Every structure is written in structure tokens, then in C-alpha cells.
């Protein structure tokens, strides 16, 4: 039985924008669902559809946008909400740093475009395709990212427009779509025994930090990611 990674490598042999777009399509469905949930949430926080679309276009960081909006609704204040969002989005530094060949030798505008489109989903698809022996580079990464970008903007805008018809997305389970998408990404990236130690270390750090109240969840996630990377380095894993 073919694995999803194997199908990724067999579907298209070349590193192209279309290949990336096709590979990301299954995850784009989840992006659309939690994008709508974010649009509803942001509307409840007082943002207009225009502001929500503009935020997605300039920031394009779903989890960070959600954290910012939740903190804003909780009355944390603009600076605290912004700090939480930036903290969570620091993981993009690890994502882009793990694939330097994608950016190498590219003009500045191409590097800036790829960095802006960098997200958990297209990064995971790129690594999965490479693990299956397929070609995946700049064009694959950007092609997948562009699909996410368009879907995210359309979904968040739709959520904002439909906010009056769906006042509470949690009653429909839409808020779980965000979690489900990241579980799917994690399963795609898991390589087996070599990943157990860094993944366990990352999870333990996050759980301890949040349970003890030592760190807010966004900072705990950043610390967990750095801890997992450090353990992987100690054991000599990529």
C-alpha cells in the first residue's frame, strides 16, 4: 500500500509550482475551515472584514493571528497580544533555517516571497516529498504557499462576512480544525524512532511550562520547539 509520501513523489517528477499546489490541496481544506473560524473570531473582537483580510495579507500567520485575536478578546492589550503573536511566529525562523537550499542563490524578491509564504503546511509537504525521494525546492515551496495564501485570505474573509449567520463557531467544532490540521502535519513529518526523543522533549517542556503557569502558551511553544531542536542536535539528528 502506497504511503502519502510515496504518492507525493510519484505524482509529479519535477519541482514545479503546480506540483506544490497539488501536494498542499488536502491540507488546504483544513486551512479553509479554521480560516473561517478565525474570521468569525476576529469579527467578534471588533475587526472589520477589510481589516481581517488586510491582516491575513500582511501577516499571513494563521496561528499567530488567532493568538493575537484571542489575547485581544481577553483584554490583554495591544502590546501583550502582539508580543504573544510574535513569540509564536518565531518558529518560522526554525522553518526557514531548516531549508536553506530553497533560498540559496535567489534574488531578494524571491527570498522575500518564499519567506512570506513560509508556513507549517508547505514546509511539511516539502520535507515529506523529499523523504519520499521526490524533487522539491523553491518552486514546490512557493506553489504550495500560494495556494495556502489564497485559501486563507478567502476563508477568513468569508468567515467575517458570515459572522452573523454563525455567531459561535465552537458549537460546530470549527475551532478543532486548527488542531486537526497540525496533527496531520505532525504525522506526515514523523520519521520513527529517531524522532521520539526530540518530540518527547518538546512536548514535555510545553506541558510543564503551561501547567505550572511559568510561561504563556505562545512562549511555551517557542521554548518547546527550541528544546526539541536542541535534543535533536545532541543526538545528531537532522
pLDDT tens digits for range 14-27: 788 999 999 998 88
Instruction: Kindly list the domain boundaries of the chain, sorted by start residue.
Output: 4-189, 193-238
The mean pLDDT of 151-163, rounded to a whole number, is 87
pLDDT value of residue 150:
94
pTM value is 0.71
Give me 45's grid cell: 473582537
The mean pLDDT of 121-137, rounded to a whole number, is 87
pLDDT in tens, 79-128: 877 777 777 777 788 888 889 999 999 999 999 999 999 988 899 889 88
Q: Which of 68-72, 105-109, 131-135 has the highest mean pLDDT?
A: 105-109
pLDDT value of residue 7:
46
CA dist., res. 74 & res. 29, Å (int): 29
Most distant CA atoms of the chain, gap in Å: 52
Higher pLDDT, 121 or 237: 121
Q: Which range (13-17, 137-141, 151-155) has the least confidence?
A: 13-17
Higher pLDDT, 78 or 9: 78
The 3-class SS string of the chain reads CCCHHHHHHHHCCCCCHHHHHHHHHHHHHHHHHHHHHHHHHHHHCCCCHHHHHHHHHHCCCHHHHHHHHHHHHCCCCHHHHHHHHHHHHCHHHHHHHCCHHHHCCCCHHHHHHHHHHCCHHHHHHHHHHHHCCCCCCHHHHHHHHHHHHHHHHHHHHHHHHCCCCCCCHHHHCCCHHHHHHHHHHHHHHCCCHHHHHHHHHHHHHHHHHHHCCCCCHHHHHHHHHHHHHHHHHHCCCC
The mean pLDDT of 191-217, rounded to a whole number, is 78
Amino acid at each position: 500500500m502506497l504511503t502519502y509520501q510515496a504518492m507525493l513523489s510519484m505524482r509529479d517528477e519535477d519541482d514545479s509550482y503546480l506540483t506544490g499546489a497539488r501536494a498542499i490541496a488536502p491540507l488546504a481544506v483544513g486551512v479553509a475551515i479554521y480560516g473561517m473560524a478565525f474570521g468569525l473570531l476576529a469579527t467578534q473582537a471588533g475587526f472589520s472584514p477589510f481589516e481581517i483580510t488586510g491582516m491575513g495579507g500582511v501577516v499571513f500567520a494563521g496561528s499567530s493571528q488567532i493568538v493575537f485575536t484571542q489575547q485581544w478578546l481577553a483584554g490583554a492589550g495591544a502590546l501583550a497580544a502582539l508580543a504573544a503573536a510574535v513569540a509564536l511566529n518565531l518558529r518560522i525562523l526554525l522553518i526557514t533555517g531548516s531549508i536553506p537550499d530553497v533560498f540559496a542563490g535567489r534574488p531578494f524578491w524571491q527570498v522575500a516571497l518564499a519567506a512570506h509564504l513560509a508556513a507549517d503546511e508547505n514546509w511539511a509537504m516539502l520535507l515529506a516529498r523529499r523523504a519520499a525521494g521526490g524533487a522539491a525546492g523553491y518552486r514546490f515551496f512557493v506553489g504550495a504557499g500560494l495556494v495556502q495564501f489564497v485559501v486563507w485570505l478567502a476563508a477568513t474573509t468569508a468567515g467575517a462576512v458570515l459572522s452573523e449567520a454563525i455567531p459561535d463557531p465552537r458549537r460546530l467544532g470549527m475551532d478543532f480544525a486548527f488542531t486537526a490540521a497540525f496533527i496531520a502535519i505532525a504525522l506526515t513529518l514523523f520519521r520513527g524512532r529517531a524522532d521520539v526523543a526530540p518530540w518527547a522533549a518538546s512536548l514535555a517542556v510545553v506541558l510543564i511550562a503551561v501547567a505550572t503557569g511559568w510561561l504563556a502558551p505562545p512562549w511555551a511553544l517557542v521554548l518547546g520547539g527550541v528544546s526539541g531542536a536542541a535534543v535533536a542536535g545532541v543526538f545528531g539528528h537532522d
